Amino acid sequence: MEQQRDQWKSKFGFLMAAVGSAVGLGNIWGFPYKMGMNGGFAFLVIYLLLVAFVGFAVMLGELALGRKTGQGAVGAYIALSKKYTWIGYMGVASGFLILSFYSVLGGFVGKYMISFLIEMFSPGAAFGGMGSGEFFGAFINNAGGSILFHFLFMIITAVIVMGGVSGGIEKFNVVAMPALAVMLVVVIIRSVTLPGAGAGLAFMFAPNFAAFKEIGFFNVLKTAAGQMFFSLSLGMGCMITYGSYLSKKEDLEGSAFIIPISDTLMALLAGLAVMPAVFAFGMEPTGGPGLLFVTLHTVFTEGLTGFIGSLFGFIFYFLVLLAAITSAISLLEVCSTYIIDRNTSAGKSSNRKTITGILAFIIFLIGIPVCMDGLGGGNIIGANFWFGKWCFLDFYDLISEGIFMPLGAMLMSIIIGWVIKTKVIKDEAEIEGNKLKFYKFWEICFKFVVPIVMVVVLIGQLQGFGIF
Ligand code: PHE
């Protein structure tokens, strides 16, 4: 039974949706704190190299596979060969794991947004005179509150995905993404004009590779690689899924550049918003996952003050929330599309709403432990529960962006470079008259660069488990 597959309504709509998937908490929350913990400049350089030599190619590969097969993550691999099915499953599993902690973080953002809204009208009512670190600490240890906001975030995401690709997702992104960029620039202006902000700029841009010695080159590399996959929504079939809704007329090669470049610019903007403020307020760049929340809270309460500070805080978190939702949508979409495609190929019709609702509920449940361990500090569930090493968030993150995504990207590249051959990507890209201009570059990336870099990253990752 053939079912008409939805398509993006316009080129701009698709790009916005893809950029909307890519730009999210990975850029705004993940990038600054991972850069902070991995030596600033050294991390930035490795990150940019990875985007250039791995990110662009994996993006092109995923979009092309999706469009060629017209299938989501699992279906696309099955269409190539049944023996690759598990690569697709790895992607769907990553989607599940990522969304389950992503939604908790999205809930945090929602709670900050509401807190600033309350502060606008009754100063002190939300923060109660607490410093930003103290507020954050109290906040992550309130498991009930976190679960509630996690639940709300999942509901919003599910409702939008139920609307289908062009109805729900597209409209939403067209407004949210540009608005966020503008707001980030506003925060940057405040951040870089704080006294002492220069040290933060130097941390990001003054050449300094000390981190390779102190933290270890492989540790910086594997963190940057995981961050890159996460931030670009690559390695788990998300862009395969989005590509499957793409019209044959679209220029795949152009998109493979534009999406990563936009995403990287947003990450840089977020870094510029956070790092100068970290140094200006005498905080530690190595502050970890709380860095964004603690630092920007201080920017909005001390850098800017009073009503204006709360107003800007509210608008900022509102836009971050939108960015998080547009990414969460794509994560849920990978999971829903998998089930819908599976039903379609089995000749069954699917109810998108029911499927999405059930999946969202399961993901909500998987995310609950993340709300209960105080990000590793221990609350209802003891400190660093997983082997005494990881909190739930880290653990889910490690399995997905640390292992499944580099592995997925590596296997896809090997399949493209060596099994079906890069020519297949060229044919798909050129199907309606577009020209693939950098064929040699893509071929070298698929055949050599991506697989080799990914092997190094995966070995580094296994070391972290104490396996090597
Ligand atoms: N790229 C998103 C972000 O940076 C997260 C994401 C990962 C979305 C993987 C889809 C797939 O926040």
Structure-block tokens of residue 174: 């067209």
Q: Which two tokens stand for residue 400?
A: 């997905």
Quickly tell me which residue has 């990522």 as its tokens.
Answer: 98
pLDDT of residue 3: 47
Q: Which is the closest atom of ligand 1 to the Cα of 29?
A: 12
Q: Which residue has the higher pLDDT, 139 or 189?
A: 189
Residues whose CB is less than 8 angstroms from the CB of residue 135 and which lie 6 or more positions away in sequence, other chains included: 127, 297
The DSSP-derived string for 288-304 is GGGHHHHHHHHIIIIIS
308 alpha carbon to ligand 1 midpoint, in Å? 31
Residue 2 lies in a domain: no
Strand boundaries in 313-443, DSSP class E: none
Q: Is residue 332 in contact with ligand 1, taking CB distance under 6 Å? A: no
How far is the centre of ligand 1, averaged over its atoms, from the C-alpha of 58 (Å)?
15
The pLDDT score that the predictor gives to residue 449 is 98
Mean per-residue pLDDT, 280-284: 93
How far apart, in whole angstroms, are the C-alpha atoms of residue 440 and residue 176?
36
Residue 215 has phi, psi (to 5 degrees) of -100, -25
Q: Is the CB of 241 under 6 A from ligand 1?
A: no
Regarding the beta carbon of 21 and ligand 1, being less than 6 Å apart is answered yes
Q: Does residue 85 fall inside a structural domain? A: yes
**Local confidence band at 169 (pLDDT 50, 70, 90 cut-offs):** low
Q: What is the distance of C-alpha 250 from the center of its chain?
A: 24
26 lines ligand 1 (CB under 6 A): yes
Structure tokens at 178: 């540009």
How far apart CA 263 and CA 387 sit, in angstroms, is: 34
Q: Is the pLDDT of residue 170 over 80?
A: no
Is any atom of ligand 1 closer than 6 Å to the C-beta of 154? no
Q: What residue type is 84 in one-letter code?
A: Y
Cβ(391) – ligand 1 distance below 6 Å: no
| Distance between start and end Cα atoms, the chain | 50
Distance of CA 433 from the midpoint of ligand 1 (Å)? 31
Q: Is 22 in the pocket of ligand 1 (CB under 6 A)?
A: yes
The ligand 1 atom at the shortest distance from the C-alpha of residue 330 is: 10
Whether the pLDDT of residue 69 is over 90: the answer is: yes
Listed residue (262, 226, 199, 270) closest to 47, CA to CA: 226
pLDDT band (50, 70, 90) for residue 2: very low
pLDDT tier at 168, thresholds 50, 70, 90: low
- Find out whether the beta carbon of 219 lies less than 6 Å from any atom of ligand 1: no
Q: How far is ligand 1, taken at its centre, from the CA of residue 233, in Å?
A: 4
Q: What is the pLDDT of residues 216-272, one digit of tens each?
A: 999 999 999 999 999 999 999 999 998 998 889 889 999 999 999 999 999 999 999
Pocket perturbation via mutation, ligand 1, pick of 98, 169, 333, 397 by most ligand atoms within 8 A of CB:
98
Residues 382 and 398: their CA atoms lie apart, in Å, by: 19
Kindly state the average pLDDT of the residues 349-366.
94
Least confident of 13-22, 158-167, 247-256, 306-315: 158-167
Which residue's CA is the nearest one to ligand 1's atom 6? 233
CB of 71 within 6 A of ligand 1: the answer is no
Identify whether the C-beta of residue 375 lies closer than 8 Å to the C-beta of residue 140: yes
Q: Given the CA of residue 328, which atom of ligand 1 is nearest to it?
A: 8
Cα torsion for 120, 126, 132, 133, to the nearest 10°? Answer: -170
CA atoms within 13 A on the CB side of 137: 7
Q: What is the DSSP string of 241-300?
A: HHHHT--TTS-HHHHHHHHHHHHHHHHHHHHHHHHHHHHHTT--TT-GGGHHHHHHHHII
**What predicted TM-score, i.e. pTM, was given to this entire model?**
0.93
Mapped to the 3 state alphabet, what secondary structure does 440-463 carry?
HHHHHHHHHHHHHHHHHHHHHHHH
Calpha distance 354→351 (Å, rounded): 6
Q: Which atom of ligand 1 is nearest to the CA of 25?
A: 12
Q: What is the CATH number of the domain that holds 374?
A: 1.10.4160
Residue 298 in any domain: the answer is yes
Could you tell me the distance, in angstroms and rounded to a whole number, from the CA of residue 75 to the centre of ligand 1? Answer: 21
Which domain, by its residues, includes 237? 11-464
Q: Cα separation of 50 and 190, whole Å? A: 30
| Cα-Cα-Cα-Cα dihedral sign, residues 120, 124, 125, 130 | positive
Cβ of residue 330 lying under 6 Å from some atom of ligand 1:
yes
Mutation probe of ligand 1 site: the residue of 19, 319, 330, 336 with most atoms within 8 A of C-beta: 330
Instruction: For ligand 1, say whether the CB of 239 is within 6 Å of any of its atoms.
Output: no
Give a yes or no: residue 384 inside a domain: yes
pLDDT at 1: 34
Tokens representing 122 are 């009754």
Task: Please choose from 28, 231, 404 the residue to mutate so as to test ligand 1's pocket, defined by most ligand atoms within 8 A of CB.
Answer: 231
Total tally of structural domains belonging to the chain: 1
Q: Identify the residue whose C-alpha is closest to ligand 1 atom 11.
A: 233
CA separation (Å) from 420 to 34, 391, 444?
36, 40, 15
* 328-355 pLDDT tens trace: 999 998 999 899 888 988 888 888 899 9
Distance CA 110, CA 112 (A): 5
Please tell me the residue having the least CA distance from ligand 1 atom 9. Answer: 233
DSSP per-residue codes, 14-79: HHHHHHHHHSSHIIIIIHHHHHHHTTTHHHHHHHHHHIIIIIHHHHHHHHHHHHHHT--HHHHHHH
CA separation for the pair 111, 134 (Å, rounded): 15
Check pocket membership of 25 for ligand 1, CB cut-off 6 A: yes
- Residue 5: inside a domain, yes or no? no
Per-residue burial over 117-129, b if 16 or more Cβ lie within 10 Å, else e, is: bbbbeebeebbee
The residue that leads in pLDDT, 232 or 391, is: 232
Token pair belonging to 83: 């023996």
For ligand 1, atom 10: residue with the closest CA: 233
The CB of 233 under 6 Å from ligand 1? The reply is yes
Q: Does residue 6 sit within a domain? A: no
Question: Does 219 fall in a domain?
Answer: yes
Distance 304 CA to ligand 1 centre (A): 30
* 331 CB near ligand 1 (under 6 Å): yes
Is residue 1 a part of any domain in this protein? no
